[in-house]
Amino acid sequence: MLEVRNVTRVFGSRAAVDDISFTIDRPAFVGIIGRSGAGKSTFLRMMNRLTDASSGQILVNGQNILSLGGQARRAWQSQCAMIFQQFNLVPRMDVTSNVLHGLLNRRSTLATMFNLWSREDILRALQILDRLGIVEQAAKRAEALSGGQQQRVAIARALMQDPQIILADEPIASLDPMNAQVVMDTLKRINIEDGRMVIANLHTLDTARRYCDRVIGMRDGRIVFDGTPEQLSTGVARDIYGADASFNEAATSTALPTDTAADREYAERLLA
Ligand SMILES: Nc1ncnc2c1ncn2[C@@H]1O[C@H](COP(=O)(O)OP(=O)(O)OP(=O)(O)O)[C@@H](O)[C@H]1O
């Protein structure tokens, strides 16, 4: 289903992602872990074509999505929806309109310009919000919602695209533990009930162990672990995070990203 073949992304003289390869043959819940700068976000952005790869191939059902251009690239982007740490909603727009913006890749410019949505689309957006337990927030501005609710709106927007794959870049890093659990439970439900693959960059080991079928560990752009949550022992985690003997599992959080240009580009594309 998904085959990543020798994918590399070089920035300047440094490889952010360095010749990685792996295969996922079913709609699994895959976690990517590693310390800040390991290359996790760069990989997700290559999958979504927000960042170009320097070399390699990513085959999805046999098609190399790295070589797609124009309309085919946009079609692929609607097949693999992206969720960000900072939600990337339009803050002053109501929740339902934010969800409907998931359809932008499929709509004409004219319909988008005049904000014309069909009754069928609006009903579907409300059904998705209902499924995620936030339909009573539908008419509110996105900025009026809690962080956990905003992330569920972002998931609803992703579902509006009816994607094969959901890419989540540190989806719970800005949330308190209770909201984090609700968001992870939501992603897991979508994975199991809909059969959509989820690939999530995660910053805590306990979350990776609890929710993932498979965990990929990255260090300095390379894959240094690829296995089940059960195989992710403290010793293995210490190797992934490159920590010394004082390695502490609780201290695996990654820093807030400083480079959010691609996130902004995504939001701007939705607003365009
Ligand atoms: N647009 C860019 N230009 C230059 N260097 C970049 C760019 N994007 C990422 N990098 C570099 O690539 C490396 C990998 O970054 P990446 O954001 O993929 O890591 P990460 O594992 O997702 O870390 P974090 O958890 O902090 O987001 C880092 O050294 C980063 O500085």
Could you read off the pLDDT of 31-86 as tens digits, one per residue?
999 999 999 999 999 999 999 999 999 999 999 999 999 999 999 998 999 999 99
The CB density around residue 209, as the number of other CB atoms within 10 Å, is: 17
* Ligand 1: centre distance to CA 114 (Å): 37
Q: Which of 117, 64, 60 is nearest to 94 (CA)?
A: 117
Ligand 1 atom closest to residue 51's alpha carbon, by position in its atom list: 1
The model's pTM: 0.89
Diameter of the chain measured on Cα atoms: 60
* Ligand 1: centre distance to CA 67 (Å): 22
Could you read off the pLDDT of 11-31 as tens digits, one per residue?
999 999 999 999 999 999 999
pLDDT band with cut points at 50, 70 and 90 for residue 242: confident
Question: Ligand 1: residues whose CB is within 6 Å?
Answer: 11, 16, 34, 36-42, 254-255, 257, 259
Q: Which of 165, 129, 151 is nearest to 44 (CA)?
A: 165
Range of the domain at 81: 2-271
Note whether ipTM > 0.90 here.
yes
Supply the pLDDT for residue 257.
41
CATH of residue 19's domain is 3.40.50.300
Number of domains in the chain: 1
d(CA 146, CA 86): 12
* Ligand 1: centre distance to CA 37 (Å): 5
